[in-house]
């Protein structure tokens, strides 16, 4: 299985996943493996779903459809998008090593990325709180963007760097990134609602396939069928338990008690990561969201 850029994901952990536009050359068929790997790295940092999909191999496309892939990506809105686009302008990478065997290649790149977790960036971006950023006045937004530009110009923009290896294959349309989704770890998601709990719960996607270094966003939709307020603490079970440490849960708002008014419907998003160093013999995980019978109700 391939290793997706784990360092890229770590650098943007607080931001989650960042969005930026990536320009694609009309001569992509002639692009060397190094250029394709570089564009993929930038698109991954940006979580630009359209750019990523165009760069992924046809073999992977057959293993996972585009709609499923897009649901795995997180998109930011408004000024948050503007701010992270400004940061992403300063991503840099140079090829370190390329090994080509026929129609397959392995490319190692040394990335230099703006560190979205650095204290000065977190303070400037209000801890990447979308609601707070969206509420800012125009003058404050301009100040933030100008400060990012100044930090870069003064060579004070916090940077993280590291080498990442990306597999590519030669398709009919040129070199593309190979993620080997057909050989990935299968994930299945279900909700278990114990008797007496008046909730309708669905999980999307119900199943997915992940390669090492890849993350997945899962949405739990809960609807209170009663006319009473319900408060519940949702259990989270990963099987096989002996391998559960190899599936990282990056975000899960259901760890704290959840309250739904009578007739209310809410959605909760969780994010999972299959670490880049996950064992090669991993095959599947079953993830269950448990809504217990001891749920409290009130009028």
Q: Quick one: CA dihedral 113, 114, 117, 118, positive or negative?
A: positive
Over the stretch 167-192, which tens digit does the pLDDT of each residue have? Answer: 999 998 899 999 888 888 999 999 99
Q: Which domains does the chain have, with CATH numbers?
A: 6-182 (3.10.450.50), 184-298 (2.60.370.10)
Q: How many helices (H) and strands (E) does the chain have?
A: 9, 15
Residue 9, pLDDT above cutoff 60: no
Q: How confident is the model at residue 254 (pLDDT cuts 50, 70, 90)?
A: low
What's the pLDDT score for residue 280? 82
Q: How confident is the model at residue 95 (pLDDT cuts 50, 70, 90)?
A: confident
Q: In degrees rounded to 5, what are phi and psi of residue 161?
A: -145, 160
> Residue 151's beta-bridge partner residues?
none
Residue 11, pLDDT above cutoff 60: no
Question: What is the rounded distance in angstroms from the CA atom of residue 273 to the CA atom of residue 247?
Answer: 6
DSSP element (H, E) containing 250: strand 248-251
Q: How confident is the model at residue 258 (pLDDT cuts 50, 70, 90)?
A: confident
Residue 25, pLDDT above cutoff 60: no
Cβ neighbours of residue 117 closer than 8 Å, sequence gap 6 or more: 11, 12, 13, 14
The per-residue pLDDT of the chain, averaged, comes to: 83
Residue 10, pLDDT above cutoff 90: no
Looking at per-residue pLDDT, the higher value among 201 and 23 belongs to 201
Residue 123, pLDDT above cutoff 90: yes
Question: What is the rounded distance in angstroms from the CA atom of residue 251 to the CA atom of residue 247?
Answer: 12
Find out whether 157 and 148 touch, Cβ atoms under 8 Å. yes
Strand 207-210 with 199-204, pairing = unpaired
Question: What is the rounded distance in angstroms from the CA atom of residue 143 to the CA atom of residue 73?
Answer: 29
Residue 22, pLDDT above cutoff 50: no
Query: Residue 249 to residues 177, 245, 280: CA-CA distances in angstroms?
Result: 26, 9, 19
DSSP letters for 2-21: ----HHHHHHTTTT-S----
Over the stretch 67-78, which tens digit does the pLDDT of each residue have? Answer: 888 877 767 778
Question: What is the rounded distance in angstroms from the CA atom of residue 284 to the CA atom of residue 286?
Answer: 7
Q: How confident is the model at residue 296 (pLDDT cuts 50, 70, 90)?
A: low
Question: What is the rounded distance in angstroms from the CA atom of residue 253 to the CA atom of residue 255?
Answer: 5
What's the pLDDT score for residue 299? 60
- β-sheet with 258-260: strand ranges across: 258-260, 229-232, 296-298
Among 8-22, 57-71, 224-238, 269-283, the least confident range: 8-22
Question: What are the percentages of helix, strand and coil residues in the chain, rounded to 5?
Answer: 30, 35, 35
Over the stretch 30-69, which tens digit does the pLDDT of each residue have? Answer: 789 999 988 888 887 777 788 899 999 999 999 888 988 8
Q: Residue range 12-37: average pLDDT?
A: 56
Residue 244 DSSP code: G
- Tell how far CA 255 is from the center of its chain: 20
């Amino acid at each position: 299985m391939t290793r997706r850029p784990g360092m890229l994901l770590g650098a943007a952990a607080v931001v989650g996943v960042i969005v930026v536009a990536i320009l694609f050359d009309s001569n992509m068929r002639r692009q060397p493996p190094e250029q394709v790997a570089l564009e993929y790295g930038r698109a991954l940092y940006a979580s630009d779903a359209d750019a990523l999909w165009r760069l992924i191999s046809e073999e992977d496309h057959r293993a996972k459809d585009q709609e499923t892939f897009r649901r795995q990506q997180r998109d930011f809105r408004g000024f948050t998008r503007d701010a992270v686009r400004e940061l992403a302008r300063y991503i840099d990478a140079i090829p370190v090593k390329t090994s080509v065997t026929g129609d397959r290649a392995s490319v190692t790149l040394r990335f230099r990325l703006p560190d979205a977790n650095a204290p000065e960036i977190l303070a400037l971006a209000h801890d990447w709180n979308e609601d707070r950023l969206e509420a800012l006045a125009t003058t404050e937004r301009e100040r933030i963007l100008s400060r990012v530009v100044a930090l870069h110009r003064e060579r004070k923009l916090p940077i993280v760097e590291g080498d990442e290896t990306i597999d590519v294959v030669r398709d009919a349309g040129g070199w593309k990134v190979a993620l080997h989704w057909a050989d990935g770890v299968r994930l299945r998601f279900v909700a278990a609602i114990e008797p007496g709990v008046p909730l309708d719960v669905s999980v999307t996607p119900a199943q997915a396939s992940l390669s090492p270094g890849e993350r997945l966003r899962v949405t739990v939709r809960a609807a209170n069928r009663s006319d009473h307020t319900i408060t519940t603490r949702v259990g989270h079970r990963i099987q096989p338990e002996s391998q559960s440490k190899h599936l990282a849960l990056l975000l899960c708002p259901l760890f704290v008690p959840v309250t739904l008014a009578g007739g209310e419907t809410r959605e909760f998003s969780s994010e999972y990561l299959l670490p880049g160093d996950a064992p090669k013999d991993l095959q599947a995980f079953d993830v269950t969201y448990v809504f217990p019978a001891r749920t409290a109700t009130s009028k």
